[in-house]
Amino acid sequence: KRYTSALLPPSPPRLPVIGNLHQLGEHAHQSLRSLALTHGPLMLIHLGSVPAYVVSSAEIAREMLKTHDIIFSNRSDSYIFRRLLYDGKDILLAPYGEYWRHIRAIGVLQLLSSRRVQSYQAVREEEIALMIENIKGSDSSIDLSKMLGTLTNDILCRIAFGKKYSQGEGEEKFKKLFDEFGELLGVFNIGEYIPWLKWLNHLNGLNARVDRNFLEFDKLLDQIFDDHIATRSEEGPKEHDQMDLLDVLLDNQHDAGITDVTIARTNMKAILADMFAGGSDTTYAALEWAMTELVKHPTAMTKVQKQIRQIVGERRSVTKEDLQKMDYLKAVIKETLRMHPPIPLMPRISSQQVKLHGFNIPAHTRVFINITAIGRDAERWDEPDEFRPERFLDAGACDSRAQEFDFMPFGGGRRGCPGVTFATAVMELVLANLLHCFDWSLPDGARGEELDVEETSGLSVHKKNPLILVAYCY
């Protein structure tokens, strides 16, 4: 069936050459949310010379990810992503098809399954205990943002490689490498939208930075592979609970014969790079926002701490059985993800022409889902800009909201995030411990309500100003 291209959705007025780029500002998800209030839940914008559609309602997101899921099962491409993620050999970028299905299955069934996530409980507990000790040892205000960034990266490094890189030799070098990797994935690359400005990326050194970061990361991964292979041949196979993700991938290599897809070292490196692209910064951002909102909302803070302390009692640390009973903490996390989805704009691309919300979307066109706009849609949420964890206390409220695509911090459809269980295990245990062990306030007697919620720009959106707090031992 052919659709005519005459029927286009509303567009904000644009300028020659740059199109609507000037309207995006520093926080594209927020600017697009405001533009959607005027122009509607499906807008056509122009990023320089590139047309893109923006979806800002649950109803249209559902149409995309349920009715037309296969058509929207690819992501739009970018030079930086391709370079850093092994030319699309990873799960996040791989084009929809046999190869993606195979490596996604490895991700879902082997690397990120509930059983595997559970097997890393000791790693999470040890790293969290270290952070708690560090906080206890600091006698003035602490930079909680920095601590949470280090913690989530350490947990991921230990789970992925069996070792962390924030201590010992080369500490600064590795920190810079991991930070830059995350930062580069979030860079706005003007050359993609205004092709004749591509030369700027040579001039401003962006391409060189991307190349350098890729090569250094690749070298680190090679060294980790070599070490693993040497240890495995000396010590033999490990028990299930002792295996890091690289061990799982190396074991999996032997099973590769069962399909036509061979998983070589480059493919495994790409999958591990994904864990860092998708797994560390997002969880860190969510934790930072959860603590920010709790400090801003003393009633919610009191309520969550009261429940945690009742459940944990005199014990110093929180167990996984405790977590199951902490329904208010779970509601706090969901409400945080609704208001501050770590990845607020989700880029997909149409593989063929399709009708969406009554409008024609041509083939190979970018479509962004504005997760922030959907999570804060006043037609679907009461007082959407208010932090009210109670809205998620009803059993099943979150699942039904997710099914309706009102709540989609982890995306949706067949390409939705496979790391939900992994991320939830980290977020719950970190927050429960922080809130059980300490009372929190702003330095110099400032009132919590005054805390800012300014955002950074980039792929995952953080609090712009670090969260500096004073911790009092409970």
Closer to ligand HEM by Cβ: residue 106 or 190 = 106
Residue whose C-alpha is closest to residue 350's, from 333, 364, 338, 334:
364
Is 354 within 8 Å of 361 (Cβ atoms)? yes
Phi, psi of 339 (to 5 degrees): -80, -30
Q: Which residue's CB is nearer to ligand HEM, number 19 or number 409? A: 409
In terms of CB distance, is 459 or 471 closer to ligand HEM? 459
Q: Taking the complex as a whole, how short is the minimal distance between the CB of residue 470 and ligand HEM, in angstroms?
A: 26
Give the 3-state DSSP-derived string for 226-294, with helices as H, strands as E and coil as C: HHHHHHHHHHCCCCHHHCCHHHHHHHHHCCHHHCCCCCCHHHHHHHHHHHHHHHHHHHHHHHHHHHHHH
Sheet architecture: strand order including 468-473: 142-143, 468-473, 438-441
Q: Which is nearer to ligand HEM, 44 or 417 (CB)?
A: 417
Q: What's the min distance (Å) between Cβ of 135 and ligand HEM?
A: 22
CA distance readout (Å), 35 to 63, 225, 257, 297, 373: 21, 48, 51, 29, 10
Q: Where does this chain bind ligand HEM (CB under 6 A)?
A: 91-92, 104, 107, 112, 274-275, 278-279, 282-283, 286, 342-343, 346, 409-413, 415-419, 422-423
Check if the beta carbon of residue 85 is closer than 8 Å to that of residue 277.
Answer: yes
Give the residue nearest to ligand HEM (CB).
411
437 labelled as ligand-binding?
no
Q: Nearer Cβ to ligand HEM, position 39 or 68?
A: 68
Instruction: Give the nearest distance from C-beta 234 to ligand HEM in angstroms.
Output: 28
Contacts (Cβ under 8 Å, ≥6 apart) of 207: 79, 201
The CB-of-137 to ligand HEM minimum distance in angstroms stands at 28
Of the pair 337, 471, the CB lying nearest ligand HEM is at: 337
Pick 118 or 302: Cβ nearer ligand HEM: 118
Residue closer to ligand HEM by CB (options 191, 347) is 347
And the tokens for 425? 């295990």
Residue 297 near residue 418 (C-beta atoms within 8 A): no
- What gap in Å lies between CA 263 and CA 254, rounded to an integer? 9
Q: Which CB, 39 or 62, lies closer to ligand HEM?
A: 62
The token pair at 221 is 């991964």
CA distances for 9 relative to 50, 349, 363, angstroms: 16, 17, 16
Min separation Cβ 217 and ligand HEM, Å: 16
Maximum Cα–Cα distance for the chain, whole Å? 69
Count the Cβ atoms, other than its own, within 10 Å of residue 233: 8
Rounded CA separation 258/156 (Å)? 29
For residue 115 the two structure tokens come to: 């059983």
The least CB distance from residue 41 to ligand HEM, in Å, is 18
CB of 236 to ligand HEM, least distance (A): 27
Distance in Å, CB of 88 to ligand HEM, minimum: 11
What is the smallest separation between the CB atom of 326 and ligand HEM, expressed in angstroms? 17
Tokens matching residue 156: 């991921």
Q: How far is Cα 55 from Cα 345, in angstroms, rounded to an integer? A: 10
Three-state DSSP at 80 gives helix
Residue 320: closest CA among 151, 128, 118, 115: 118
In the annotated binding site for heme, the residues are 417
Annotated binding site: 417
